[in-house]
Amino acid sequence: MAHECGRVWLRPLGGGCEWAARPGDVEPVSLSESLSPLVAEANRRSAEPR
């Protein structure tokens, strides 16, 4: 989200409350990690009775 006052400000991919962390305590999210919640939601919806 942002980098300010020696902190990085983060927010979950799906939205929600942001939080601050030290830059050395975070790392980029891989493509598979970022897609995992979306795939899980699609799988959940496809398993629902119609």
Alpha-carbon distances, residue 5 vs 2, 20, 22, 42 (angstroms): 10, 10, 10, 38
The structural domain count of the chain equals 1
**Domain of residue 42, residue span:** 2-47
- CA-nearest of 33, 25, 49, 47 to 10 is 25
pLDDT tens digits, 8-40: 988 887 788 999 999 999 998 899 888 888 898
Q: For residues 27 and 49, what is the distance between their CA atoms, to the nearest angstrom? A: 39
Q: Per-residue pLDDT for 5 more than 80?
A: no
Backbone angles phi, psi at 30, to 5 degrees: -75, 165
pLDDT tens digits, 39-48: 988 999 999 8
pLDDT at 2: 67
pLDDT at 6: 84
Residue 10 β-bridge partners: 19
